Structure 1
Amino acid sequence: MRLGGPVFADYDTPAEWTDALDDLGYGAAYCPVDPDADPETVRAYREAATEADIEIAEVGAWGVNPVSPDPDERAEAVASCARHLELADAVGANCTVNVAGSRGDSWAGPHPENFDEATFDLVVDSVREIIDAADPDSASYTLEAMPTMVPDSVDSYRRLLDAVDRDAFAVHFDPVNLVASPRRYADTAGLLEAFVDELGERIQCVHLKDVAMGSDPLVHLSEVPPGDGNLDYHALLRALDDLDDDLPVMLEHLDGPEAYERAADHVRSVADEVAVSV
């Protein structure tokens, strides 16, 4: 595995970017350029990452809704995701990632129709459209599992992979987003192991965070920093260690460099305890 996270240091060149990653001890990185970057800049960052032995984990295509009920918004979202997938292919990233989308007003919010069969079919169509438009050579398009839409479980992710039927459609593993009930919260190790057992060979990137459940009888689950919740990191790192040695495991959603340093220390500490490398 290769641990990574955001870079907070200022950089103007690919060399300064890789130096900042080295200072953090990261072997993986989020994509440092956006789809508007010129081809020479994209190529320079790809070459710098290769030279510094940095794995570019993902290109985030966040904030757009490929299953929007508004046909114009949906078309724009599909085109945006395809541009991000083209960037991922050009910069040498493992994948582009978004959520499937929502039938409501929010691109990632809940809606009663999100689990309908018609919406499932629309997700399949949108993923195919994105992949076919970008036609990547090596990068994959992935969906982050979410509690409020498909895929929301091991089974729904497998069903979606089979339905899309594209080699360039792969898996983004965000364990915390799968912990959507007290039952799953009670056995995160079993959940993690089942996901990796079923889908491990298709996983292109992993997000690292944690989850805590409140004491109120009405269920409330909160995202918290790694080590502050109930996610079984020992089971997670052991399961992931059976996959690709270069698999990026990426810290996210933390408040500033000090929080990322503490999270990285926790992940490295657990990795030492289970004798795996990050």
Structure 2
Amino acid sequence: MRIERRDFLKVSAAAAAGLVYSKRMHAAASTAAIRLGGPIFINSTDPAELAREHRRLGYAAAYCPDIATLSDTQLLQKIEQAYASQNVVIAEVGAWKNMLDPDAEKRRANLDYVTQRCALADALGALNCVDIAGSYNPDVWYGPNPKNLSREFFDATIENVRHILDHVKPTRTKFTVEMMGWNLPDGPDGYVELIRAVDRKAFGVHLDVCNGINSPQRYYHNADFIRECFSKLGPWIVSCHAKDLRWDVEMNVHFEEVVPGRGQVDYTTYLTELSKLGREVPLMLEHLKTAEEYDEGRHYIQTVGSAAGLKFA
């Protein structure tokens, strides 16, 4: 059968349009909704009321409520059910203690605390229990110290993470440590090295992009740094933090944490890369000073995401 040139062009145009449409549909299908979350500011011990407040604010992810305790299994079940009924995921249980404290007694107590917090995360069904690896600084628990970039620090962190995971044996949560600008892991490559060295399936990644921006190069080119983080760490990412960075001009480099939208972090890239993971990974606002600042940050992120064609859970 002979096809006339006019008909051929029509068929070709239709096929091309179909291919473009197919690619667009595939791209849309491969992106996931963003689960934005943050703290809430109501005085309540009622799990249902706490869950509803998250939804009122447009949040689909939450920090572990302060009322949760490992010993009260009935309360944990009520919290889990109340939040699930509002489609709110409990993103993280914070375990902010120094697992490498120079004082051996404090270090032991801190490790026990973090282990218990990991057990709480697993009992509650939180996505992860998060800490930093720690610090050898004797005065500030997260502060700088030359040994924080040493092999000793790396090996001690491996030992600590394995201790926690081998003790808890979590089935519903991951244990994670954040990147820090002056502690290991201080970038995606170091994070991958740590993951492989720990060699435990329940060890994941909590991505805090701002914590990894520790140089003018990463600040200027933070979109490239964000893409690198997601490219190398994507399979392990279980939760992320949201804030912004502003360069305060002094005689040396000083980055200040500020409300999203007041700094230079490329949130279009951040949100796009997050959605491309193909699963609903929480993005948790943190370190802001007031409820009004959280409202501002939430609105900015939602506006940027909507402008990029992204959806929020």
Mapped to 2, the partners of 1:165 and 1:12 lie a distance apart of 39
Highest Rg: 1 or 2? 2
2: CA distance, partners of 1:95 / 1:171? 9
User: Separation in 1 of the partners of 2:64 and 2:149?
Assistant: 31
1:200 to 231, 234, 238: 234
Distance in 1 (alpha carbons) for counterparts of 2:146 and 2:296 = 39
1:171 lines up with 2:205 in the alignment = yes
Taking structure 2 as the reference length, what is the TM-score of the superposition? 0.86
Deviation larger for 228-237 or 29-38:
29-38
Distance 1:248 1:199 in 2: 15
Give distance in 1, aligned partners of 2:210 and 2:192.
18
1:38 shift after superposition: 1.2
1:180 aligns with 2:202: no
Of 218, 221, 245 in structure 1, the residue corresponding to residue 252 of structure 2 is 218
The residue type paired with residue 71 of structure 1 is A
1:274: which partner in 2? 308
Question: Per-residue deviation at 1:52?
Answer: 1.6
**1:1-278 equivalent positions in 2, closer than 5 A:** 1-32=34-65, 33-35=67-69, 38-62=72-96, 64-105=97-138, 106-278=140-312
| Partner SS state of residue 114, structure 1 | helix
Question: Which runs of 5 or more residues in structure 1 are unaligned?
Answer: none
Counterpart residue type for residue 5 of structure 1: G
Deviation for aligned residue 1:179: 0.6
Identity %: 37
SS at match of 1:118: helix
State the AA in 2 paired with 1:65.
N
What amino acid maps onto 2:143 in structure 1? G
CA 1:45–1:244 in 2, change beyond 3 Å: closer, same or farther? Answer: farther
- CA deviations 1:176-199 (Å, max 9, x no partner) are 111100011010000000000111
Partner of 2:20: none
In 2, the alpha carbon distance for the partners of 1:37 and 1:13 equals 18
The separation in 2 between residues aligned to 1:245 and 1:223, in whole angstroms, is: 28
C-alpha RMSD of matched pairs (Å): 1.2
Structure 2 alignment gaps of length 5 or more: 1-33
Return the offset for 1:115.
0.8
SS at match of 1:150: coil
Q: Is the 8 A contact 2:90 2:127 kept in 1?
A: yes
Conserved in 2, the CA contact under 8 Å of 1:60 and 1:84? yes
The structural deviation recorded for 1:217 is 4.6
The alpha-carbon deviation at position 35 of structure 1 amounts to 3.7
Q: Are the aligned partners of 2:136 and 2:147 in contact in 1 as well (CA < 8 Å)?
A: yes
Cα deviation for residue 133 of structure 1 reads: 1.1
Q: Which moved more, 1:99-108 or 1:166-175?
A: 99-108
- Paired residue total: 277
Q: How far apart in 1 are the matches of 2:109 and 2:203? A: 20
Q: SS of 1:272's equivalent?
A: helix
Distance between the aligned counterparts of 1:99 and 1:223, measured in 2?
Answer: 18
Assess, with a 3 A threshold, how the Cα gap between structure 1 residues 100 and 129 changes in structure 2: closer, same or farther. same
Shift of 1:79: 1.1
Between 237-246 and 51-60, the greater mean CA deviation after superposition: 237-246
How far apart are residue 249 of structure 1 and its match? 0.5
Answer yes or no: is the 8 Å Cα contact 1:66–1:78 preserved in 2: yes
Deviations 1:192-251 (A, max 9, x none): 000001111111111000001123351111111100001000111111111143211011
Counterparts of 2:278 and 2:238, CA distance in 1:
9
Whole-angstrom CA distance in 1 between matches of 2:173 and 2:223: 29
SS in structure 2 at match of 1:231: coil
Deviating above 3 A after TM superposition, structure 1's stretches of 4 or more consecutive aligned residues are 33-37
